[in-house]
Amino acid sequence: MESTPRPHVDGEADMAEAVHALELTLPLVLRPLARVAYNYWWSWSVEGRELFESLDPALWERTGGNPVRLLYDLSVARSEALAADPAVVARVQALATAFYAAMHAPRVASAEAGRSVAFMCAEFGLDASLPLYAGGLGVLAGDYMKEASDQGRPVIGLGMLYWEGAFHQRLDGQGWQQEYWLELEPERLPAALVTRADGAPLIVHASIRGRRVATRVWRVDVGRVPLFLLDTDLPENTLVDRWITARLYVGDRETRIAQYALLGVSGIRALRAMGITPDVIHLNEGHAAFASLELVHDALEQGLSFDDALAAARERTVFTTHTPVAAGNDTFSETELHDALNGIPEQLGFAWDQFVSLGRVRPEDRSERFGLTPFALRMSRAANGVSRRHGEVSREMWREFWPGRDVADVPIGHITNGVHLPTWMDPHMQRLLDRYLPADWRNRAADPTVWEAVEQIPADELWDARCRMRANLVSFVRDRSVWDRLGRGTSTAYAELAARLWQPGTLTLGFARRIATYKRLYLLAMDQHRSVHLLNGAQPFQVVIAGKAHPQDDEAKRSVQGFFHLNAQEAVGGRAVFLEDYDLDMARRLVAGCDVWVNLPRPPFEASGTSGMKSMLNGGLQLAVPDGWWEEAYDGMNGWVVDGGFSHDPAEQDARDAGALLDLLESQVVPLFYNRDVAGIPHTWVERIKASLRTLGPRFNTARMLSDYAERYNAGVGVLSGPPLA
């Protein structure tokens, strides 16, 4: 039986119950921690992470930084000792007060702020303790949610709870990536199962692959914004259907399309069952595009004609594309589509052929596969790319939709990505800015005048903060590199090599992101001889590299392996380190500690890139190809552009860019870093950091990004319009 819609069945009471159950296990004075533990707000408050970790550092690490698990697993002796410590009790109270204040902070007031948004995405990267993300797309979705909470916008998130999450990475003795998965145990996550008024779990159904698939819903609180996660791991489902929400981005296409059907169709049904009717459905990438089917259904139920229902569904939907290569957009054969959706479109009043044609660029061309992006473009009121450059690329890619129009008039806009400042700016940096920026700078992060005060920061203080952040990273890299190497069965001498040679005062470069071939990790070592020579020069530098290749992407795995073999040489292995199992926690440490953040995508394949923005917020300088965000960010003073010039031949382009990279390192980056005054301060370097923070800080954060989405996009003020329907 389908759950009856009724208001306020949105898991809020379930969350309160979960909090209460945890409270009962804690001494009275520690009980305020239970509510904070069940709200990911803690992860972006300066005090939250530090406090939870300090309760029991070893246990914190064993629980993967999950505060609910930590509090449940605290020994009685430990919690009694903590409760008896007045300093701990004072910190608990301060955290609870800060949490209360954040939950009741003023909300942005503007005309469009009242439009409620359901933000749908296949992945959400909130924190390492909730591994439901693979890379930039998920982290962006997580950052969007956090910013929506800070601004008090009426947003909810909708995604999936993969009970084995995303994969973890190990390299074997040959440097080949191996994947493994760990079960998440949702009961021990900061999540509450959504139940109906009668206490039974809220279940929605959809027909997927011809079977009725039951889905339950988990609620995760992200500050003031709830995230709802679908989960088919229920005994009434077949094992194959339970597998739908097992893993993020499974390789097998049949499961993948089932995931998309679930996210789109069951997702909208779950919202309806919870009594939630968002004004705007925001499809963050095409994975959730089948939501449109259910939106049409909604409109038909209200008595609209089919054409009007289609128009009404489009009117509610906006779409952000993230993929600048045609091959990166999921497409399916008509048979795959038919097997997965079995009957759904027809039930909703679509003739099958009509439905399929909506997913083709050329509707009548039966040889064209059904694409999620074309379908999403057709079924949305507005669409955008995620950087200026990506906007241009997207208009070019999809111009066929608007025959006869100039490419510049193709109505796909762009809203450049940003990152969530409190998540990504290290506490050292935040505390420094607290001293020199206007008191309310955190709430005005998108205001350029606020950032002008960066120029007032004394060079020695800024440099001191940078050195502390680098020193923290160096100690992390030393430890992790020993474990990683021992785990691969290397000699002890080699395992300890980087731990011996890495120094807190050495120029530190970072390169960390999903390892995909277009990200061109191999450029770092194309001219091996020269790279090795530079690494070990009189003015040395050290490099940390991290990232996962998609399990099916053997080419990317080979590029990791190539680096691995190079790294086995002693002259390299001491200064260059590959850290396994890149995740949000490692990313936070890397972007805070690295002096220079390297990004070498093959243009124009980087839609935006966000890790560089995170580094920028911490005073890292960018050494990057002018693609994605960097193309619109670089102004000559705020970092460096690696540009070997254009070539039609990829190999030639690689050689040029690799050369340009080493030229810049040798002639500018390295000398500038080591050019010190008598007090040891590199003044020109510090000037660059200031220029970077001042010019980029206000632009590449989610405060600016969310305002852009709200004002230019969700409000529907007629800037953009979808393509004609087939």
Ligand X SMILES: *Cc1c(COP(=O)(O)O)cnc(C)c1O
295 vs 587, which CB is nearer to ligand X? 587
Question: Rg (Cα) of the chain, in Å, rounded?
Answer: 25
DSSP 17-48: HHHHHHHTTS-GGGTHHHHHHTBGGGGGSHHH
Does the footprint of ligand X cover residue 611 (CB under 6 A)? Answer: yes
The Cα–Cα gap between 655 and 644 comes to: 8
Does residue 135 belong to the site contacting ligand X (CB under 6 A)?
yes
Is there a contact between 5 and 272 (Cβ–Cβ < 8 Å)? yes
Instruction: Indicate which single residue of 32, 136, 157, 385 sits in contact with ligand X (rule: CB under 6 A).
Output: 136
The verdict on 587 binding ligand X (CB under 6 A) reads: yes
Q: What gap in Å lies between CA 720 and CA 722, rounded to an integer?
A: 7
Please identify, using beta-carbon distances, which residue of 386 and 577 lies nearer to ligand X.
386
Query: How far, in Å, are 111, 232, 282, 381 from residue 384 at the CA level?
Result: 22, 31, 11, 11
CB of 349 to ligand X, least distance (A): 40
- The H or E element spanning position 499 is helix 497-501
Q: Given candidates 10, 147, 298, 583, which one binds ligand X under the rule CB under 6 A?
A: 583
Closest CB 714 distance from ligand X, rounded Å? 24
Instruction: Report, in Å, the least distance between residue 333 CB and ligand X.
Output: 30
Residue 52 or 630 having the CB closest to ligand X: 630
- The full DSSP string for 290-308 is THHHHHHHHHHHTT--HHH
Site string for ligand X, 473-512 (x = CB under 6 A): ----------------------------------------
Contact call for residue 513 and ligand X (CB under 6 A):
yes
**Shortest Cβ 419–ligand X spacing (Å):** 7
- The DSSP 8-state label assigned to residue 419 in this structure reads B
Segment lying near ligand X (by CB under 6 A), choices 158-166, 251-259, 488-496, 581-589: 581-589
Q: Please state the three-class secondary structure of 422-464 as a single string.
A: HHHCCHHHHHHHHHHCCCCHHHHCCCHHHHHHHHHCCHHHHHH
Residues 166-205 binding ligand X (CB under 6 A) are none
Residue span binding ligand X (CB under 6 A) among the ranges 95-103, 166-174, 254-262, 609-617: 609-617
Nearer to ligand X, 242 or 513 (CB): 513
Q: Is 139 in the site for ligand X (CB under 6 A)?
A: yes
* Number of Cβ atoms within 10 Å of the Cβ of 411: 18
Q: How many residues bind ligand X (CB under 6 A)?
A: 13
Give the pair of three-digit tokens for residue 478.
């030393």
Q: Which residues lie closer than 8 Å to 578 by C-beta, 6 or more apart?
A: 171, 484, 545, 546, 560, 563, 564, 567
Cα–Cα distances in Å, from 124 out to 56, 243, 288? 27, 19, 13
52 in Cβ contact with 70 (< 8 Å): yes
Nearest approach in angstroms of CB 135 to ligand X is 4
Q: With CB under 6 A as the contact rule, which of the stretches 352-360, 572-580, 603-611, 630-638 interacts with ligand X? A: 603-611
Give the binding range for ligand X (CB under 6 A) out of 34-42, 104-112, 579-587, 673-681: 579-587
Does residue 65 touch ligand X according to CB under 6 A? no
Nearer CB in complex with ligand X: 470/614? 614
Q: What is the DSSP letter of 114?
A: G
* Contacts of residue 58, Cβ cutoff 8 Å, sequence gap at least 6: none
Per-residue tokens: 667: 């002639």
Compare residues 127 and 298 and give the one whose CB is closer to ligand X: 127
Say if CB 123 and CB 141 are below 8 A apart: yes
Residue whose CB is less far from ligand X, 478 or 614: 614
Cβ contact 193:216 at 8 Å:
yes
Q: What residues does 599 pair with on adjacent strands?
A: 624
Shortest distance, position 387 Cβ to ligand X, whole Å: 11
Those residues with Cβ within 8 angstroms of residue 163's Cβ, 6 or more apart along the chain or in another chain = 183, 184, 186, 231, 233, 245, 246
Minimum CB–partner distance for residue 423 and ligand X (Å): 9
Give yes or no for a contact between 614 and 587, defined as CB atoms under 8 angstroms apart: yes
**Binding-site member from 348, 465, 584, 710 for ligand X (CB under 6 A):** 584
- Of 454 and 598, CB closest to ligand X: 598
Question: Which of the ranges 73-81, 331-339, 555-563, 576-584 carries the binding residues for ligand X, by CB under 6 A?
Answer: 576-584
CB of 610 to ligand X, least distance (A): 4
Q: Is 609 in the site for ligand X (CB under 6 A)?
A: yes
610 binds ligand X (CB under 6 A): yes
Q: Which stretch binds ligand X (CB under 6 A): 146-154, 258-266, 608-616, 702-710?
A: 608-616
State the burial class of residue 669 (Cβ atoms within 10 Å of its Cβ: 0-12, 13-18, 19+).
Answer: buried
CB of 597 to ligand X, least distance (A): 9
Q: Using CB under 6 A, which of the segments 79-87, 486-494, 565-573, 578-586 binds ligand X? A: 578-586
Binding site for ligand X (CB under 6 A): 135-136, 139, 513-514, 582-584, 587, 609-611, 614
